Amino acid sequence: MTKTGWLNRTVFGAGIASFFSDLGHEAVTVLLPSFLIVLGAPVYALGIVEGISDGASSFVKLFSGYLSDKLGKRKEFALAGYVATGIFPAIVAMAASWPGILCGRVIGWMGRGTRGPPRDAILAKSVDKADMGKAFGFHRAGDTLGAIAGPIVAFSLVGYFTTREILWLTLIPGFLALLTFWLLVRERDPAPSGDHRTLVASLRGLPGGFRKYLAAVLVFGIADFSHTLLIAFAVVMLTPSLGFVQATMAGAVLYTIRNIVYAAACYPFGALGDRFGRKTLLVLGYGIAVATFILFALVPPDLVLYGILFALCGVFIAAEDTLESAVAGEMIEERCRGLGFGALATMNGIGDLCSSILIGFIWAFVGYSAGFLFAAVVAAAGTIMMLAWANGRQGGVSV
């Protein structure tokens, strides 16, 4: 198969589509904690919204990856996901209570789950194996440039429009994401996998080393709660000194800092992983997460200190998102990559489901420091498992 270089039309198109998509849903995300507070939702509601949304997304990812491989319809599945993600802000805009927001968020995140594995499989197939880190790094950087633009756009519109009106406006970038992916992304030689096994049998056929890798990802994921909760944490902790409105603005700024650092770090992590070892840098990223959770439990409420910690969040998420996918891509045979990426996303989704709900309840009924220390302990266990896996013998590609 002839390729024109790692930054080809498909990689570029996928990155731009993700930019528009993230611009839309991150503009919603940054307003969500304050919107829930205004609606009178309890403290743990955000954890439930995030956790259930991530959990629903995880199971959709598994079936999406499996079916897109089996039917040879990866682009079609990805496009369907962009449709669902694009329309979810409208459902949130019409919500009168937090269960309505939950409904919209679940639909949007199921769309993200549907599009993720087939899109990643298309990306992996569009470049040589040696360039996967750079390709995924570029895509994740585009993804997060949108996540930077989203809060900035939301923040700039707050003085001119109501929250509900801003939510309606975010339908525009969602449509642009769908259009960009449809026009620019090309799947090379799409064909059914020819695998007639059931989903369970196909999962059992994945390499033993890959399954051990997924176990480490799952354990770490149980600590890796949604960073939307960090916005809520910052708003609550900074309100006594800044006031609610200024604390809400500070939360948006902090989240933007996190996203800027994430965008800046994605490609370097991918390129360094290609050169020096993806597994080693992934373990390093996990270790940074452990240190960050501990520091969140210890530092006093301070805008500058929180800025540093939100930046560290951007660093470890960049390593996690870029290198987990690149490592998976090199371990799984092309015809099964949709399933492999679906399994990876499912482990992350199950972890997110558990972590966001657990952290939300620990924060509500025990305290913020206890929640962060819980996350640090579990993340450390996942880091140790990943280190042991990286230093051991891994299985080959699936057959």
Query: What are the pLDDT digits (tens) for 349-390?
Result: 788 778 878 888 898 889 899 999 999 999 999 999 999 998
CA dihedral 81, 185, 260, 230 (to 10 degrees): 10
Return the pLDDT at 193: 54
Which of 235, 275, 281, 272 is CA-nearest to residue 255?
A: 235
Residue 36 identity: L
Task: Note the pLDDT of residue 335.
Answer: 67
Q: Give the pLDDT of residue 396.
A: 45
Query: Considering only CA atoms, which of 157, 29, 176, 174 is closest in space to residue 92?
Result: 29
- Cβ–Cβ under 8 Å, residues 26 and 151: yes
- Every domain of the chain and the residues it spans: 9-187+196-391
SS3 string of the chain? CCCCCCCCHHHHHHHHHHHHHHHHHHHHHHHHHHHHHHCCCCCCHHHHHHHHHHHHHHHHHHHHHHHHHHHCCHHHHHHHHHHHHHHHHHHHHCCCCHHHHHHHHHHHHHHHHHHHHHHHHHHHHCCCHHHHHHHHHHHHHHHHHHHHHHHHHHHHHCCCCCHHHHHHHCHHHHHHHHHHHHHHCCCCCCCCCCCCCCHHHHHHCCCHHHHHHHHHHHHHHCCCCCCHHHHHHHHHHHHHHHCHHHHHHHHHHHHHHHHHHHHHHHHHHHHHHHHHCHHHHHHHHHHHHHHHHHHHHHCCCCHHHHHHHHHHHHHHHHHHHHHHHHHHHHHCCHHHHHHHHHHHHHHHHHHHHHHHHHHHHHHHHCCHHHHHHHHHHHHHHHHHHHHHHHHCCCCCCCC
Q: Which residues of 343-362 are buried (b: 16+ CB within 10 A; e: fewer)?
A: bbbbbbbbbbbbbbbbbbbb
Query: pLDDT tens digits, residue range 55-110?
Result: 788 778 778 877 877 777 888 888 999 999 888 888 888 888 888 889 888 998 89
**Per-residue confidence (pLDDT) for residue 2, from 0 to 100:** 41
User: Which CATH superfamily hosts domain 9-187+196-391?
Assistant: MFS general substrate transporter like domains (1.20.1250.20)
With a cut of 50, list the residues of the chain below it in pLDDT. 1-3, 395-399
